[in-house]
A and B are shown apart, each in its own frame.
Chain A
Amino acid sequence: MKTRLMLAASLALLSFSASQAAPTRGGSMVVSYKDDVTTLDPAIGYDLQNWPIEKMLFDGLLDYEVGSTKLAPRLATAMPKVSADGRTYTFILRPGVKFQNGRELVASDVVYTLARVLDPKTKSPGQSFYTGIAGAQAFIDGKAKTVSGLKAAGKYGVAITLDAPNAAFLNIMAMNFAYVVPKEEVAKAGADFGHKPVGTGPFKLTSWPSGQQLVFERNPNYFFQNLPYLDKVTVKVGLDPSVAFLSLTRGEVDLLGDGIPPAQFLQVVHDSKYKANVLQRTNVNTSYISLNTGVGPLKDVRVRQAINMAINKTKVLRIINGRGVLAKTYLPPLMPGYDVAEMGYKYDPAAAKALLKTAGFPNGFDTVLYTTSTDPNPRIAQSLQQDLAAVGIRASIKSQAQSTVVEAASTPKTAAMVWSGGMAWTQDFPDPSDFYWPILSCKSAVQGGWNWPFFCDKALDARADKADQMVAPGQSAARLKEYAGIFSALNKQALWVPIYHEVRYMMKSDRLIGGLPELEDPIHNIVYERLSVTK
């Protein structure tokens, strides 16, 4: 009896210490995706799928600590020095970092990379994040040959000067658009650089038969010598999610890049044998109904508030099998600046009807609700339609392709209500300014913008501008409080009906070693360089 206890204890101790040991180096993994990878050019490729893959091939000056939203230096030796006026950032690069073609990375490469993102010819989606750099607009307009605010200071020094201080600037420097690219490789490949990428990253791309798979192999000269853990990563594309699921259970695929397919979700989540294979985290995004302040009755804030009170959000969560967390406001709970005291509008159809009567609509009114046509969004739209009908609002549903919904939503006075299903507003970086400027500011309330309520309050814009200039280290708490106030004011305007924040489920095989930090990283989702497999 005593020997058995001793044996059990020593085994437990052994396994505990083994799990604390460094991950095994070597081995390979397979990840599957439904959609093809469009491009691996970090200046252009910007979606949930290709961003983590670009992180395999490239590096930026800054990065985030794995599994967190804390910034850390990557190609830079340390966090940058900031000038007294808060406008100039000086980075010192690590010496000896090599591109995968053998050449050492130097300061002029960083200047080249950022200028390339600004260059209209690159067609970079990230261009507008960097227009705050001094001289950027002149460069874009063709009035200057270089960007005056981007300077190389010696071989390893980079000085970036902004037009005005921006508290989110370091987050912007950690985005994929700022991953450094070698000028000569871009010149050689031209527009095909996205399919022949060369960076400094922990992996290099060794093969990519179109439409089938991408194969990445360890970069033996990577400057972080302990990374990556894996020798090889194979990205299979075009695989139907249900077939990919079958492959995972057979051990042919190690990670479902798109998460658990909806068809198998309930089965997997309730099966205890898959408990260790499933990870979940609430996304930093919000799915909402946008209410167009330029269309008919929605011009009246009371009508918009009534709509907020009419929607049964729990019913919507049931339609998506509980893969979401009820939303009370614009910001997701994990976004800095989120106010836990914000209660939003309570579900109260009677109060909604009363408010509509006060606003002059005792018999409701007719309106149109847009939705994308991919499941489950039409079903969600029907649920919303029912809730609106219960308070007298007769909403007809327009179910269309995503590109068409976006076009209608971003045209003034066109789409009264738009269900954002499939197009949840997701953070570009963990800062509340990212949930203000692109979607709720005066600047974005124009044709083609993403401010679908077409709301413009110049006073709020000024407040947000002032908040973004609070860059001194001690001011960050005050800044977040200011943004909480801005969003509280926006809540009173009821421009959205925030419905839920998505919960992302990842499913991995038994042999893949990775936890929440590596597989549900809040910024990059999957951090391939830190994944490993059992021997």
Chain B
Amino acid sequence: MLGFLGSRLLQSVLVLIVASVITFTLAFLLPADPARMVAGPSASVATVNSIRHELGLDRPFLSQYTSYLNRLVHLDLGRSYKQSSEVSALMASRIWPTVQLMLGAIALELLIGLPLGIWAALNRGRWPDTLVMGLAFLGAAAPQFWLALSLVYLLAYRFALFPLGGYGGLNHLFLPALTLGIGGAGWYARMMRSQLLEVLGQDYIRTARAKGQTPALVLLKHALRNATLPIVTMIGLDIGTFMGGVVVVESVFGWPGLGRLVWDAIRVVDIPIIVGVVIFSAFAITLANLLADFVQPFVDPRVRYR
């Protein structure tokens, strides 16, 4: 197991290095001038050049990249061009809301998607199956922006059950999490359905039923446990993706997550923030995948570490 962890950790570090090189290079090659974005339209060319020099943007690529790598190794993500604040401080203030939204979204995806998937599998070919598959399709196809605004209008405005956006307790978290939950539930429903159908056709299920086990217990003890492995992998992927921020949902609900932070930075070519969030996102995805793979043998003893 230690060998497995060791090799995976090494792989993850490699991924992060490659991600940092690619992101930094792309930011450098952008046909846009961060100095002009900081200076605004009214500044003279002399002022723009002065700002460019102060930000170190007139140095050759290799010089800029090595400085950046040097700071990164010391966990210093630099300072935002536009805001002057430390990027790590800016990101730190957005991480907890991002984690909350991630947890809420995944919880709702599972709460909505898994039971629907089970129901569809148990009623294969009949109307519940068609209904669930149709809903899954709609949920995945619905544009997030439209879904978010519709939920706000219905549940926060028309019927004031929830606040109109903003950050706070569970009350404020519910609608944004629900928007993401509805969108993602479809995937979990389909995955659960197909996994369960496969498992239910196995011989050990027939054996359990033949032994006299009730259908419910068969489901719980034997079927579900064998069906969850790909679900766990999916959750891992989801965690990673959500940790990069979800700009559409954050924008509609005014949720102070990483998505909005990096979106605002992209518009004004605020490179330190962009690179900082991308690297953090790569880190989160790598970590989440690592955890998902690590957890597999505990869910299914047939899986061995390689």
Query: Chain A residues in contact with chain B, CB under 8 A?
Result: 34-36, 38-39, 41, 44, 46-47, 120-121, 123-129, 131, 140, 191-195, 209-212, 236-240, 242-243, 246-247, 250, 252, 401-404, 406-408, 410, 423, 425, 428, 434, 438, 443-444, 446-450
Contacts and interface: CB of A to CB of B under 8 A. Distances in A.
Nearest to B81: A123
Given A212-B167, A404-B31, A240 B47 contact: no
B84 A194 contact: yes
Interface of B: 30-34, 36-51, 53-55, 79, 82-86, 90, 93-94, 97, 149, 152-153, 156-157, 160, 164-167, 250-257, 260-261, 264, 267-269
B31 to A, nearest CB: 5
Nearest to A37: B83
A238 B149 contact: no
Query: Ordered nearest first, which 6 A-B pairs have the shortest CB separation?
Result: A211-B256, A128-B44, A403-B32, A210-B93, A238-B254, A191-B84
B41 A243 contact: no
B267 A444 contact: no
B85 A192 contact: yes
Nearest to A192: B85
A402 B40 CA distance: 12
Contacts of A124: 47
B84 A448 contact: no
Contacts of B43: 125-128
Nearest to B257: A211
A47 B40 contact: yes
Contact of A125 (B39, B85, B86): B39
B47 A38 contact: no
Nearest to A122: B54
The DSSP consensus for interface residues of chain A is loop
A36 B257 CA distance: 12
Given A127-B47, A403-B32, A243 B253 contact: yes
27 contacts: A36-B264, A38-B82, A44-B84, A46-B40, A46-B42, A124-B47, A125-B43, A126-B42, A128-B47, A191-B79, A195-B83, A211-B94, A238-B260, A243-B149, A243-B164, A243-B252, A401-B32, A404-B30, A406-B32, A406-B37, A407-B31, A410-B36, A423-B41, A443-B44, A443-B45, A448-B33, A448-B49
B149 A242 contact: yes
B47 A125 contact: yes
B32 A128 contact: no
A279 B33 CA distance: 36
B166 A236 contact: yes
A334 B157 CA distance: 40
A355 B261 CA distance: 51
B36 A212 contact: no
Contacts of A209: 93, 167, 256
A403 B164 contact: no
Contacts of A239: 165-166, 254
Contacts of A443: 44-45
B157 A444 contact: no
Contacts of B47: 124-125, 127-128
Contacts of A210: 90, 93-94, 256
Question: Which of A41, A236, A247, A423 is most buried by chain B, counting CB atoms within 10 A of its CB?
Answer: A247
A438 B44 CA distance: 7
Given A246-B153, A247-B164, A403 B55 contact: no
B48 A448 contact: yes
Contacts of A252: 164
A20 B47 CA distance: 48
A203 B40 CA distance: 26
A129 B54 CA distance: 19
A525 B50 CA distance: 30
A190 B250 CA distance: 31
Contacts of A446: 45
Nearest to B82: A38
Contacts of B167: 209, 212
Contacts of B54: 120-121, 123
A247 B55 CA distance: 40
A237 B94 CA distance: 14
Contacts of B79: 191
Given A125-B39, A403-B34, 20 more contacts: A39-B82, A124-B47, A127-B43, A127-B44, A192-B86, A195-B83, A209-B167, A236-B254, A239-B254, A240-B252, A240-B254, A243-B149, A243-B164, A250-B164, A410-B33, A434-B42, A443-B44, A443-B45, A448-B48, A449-B44
A403 B254 contact: no
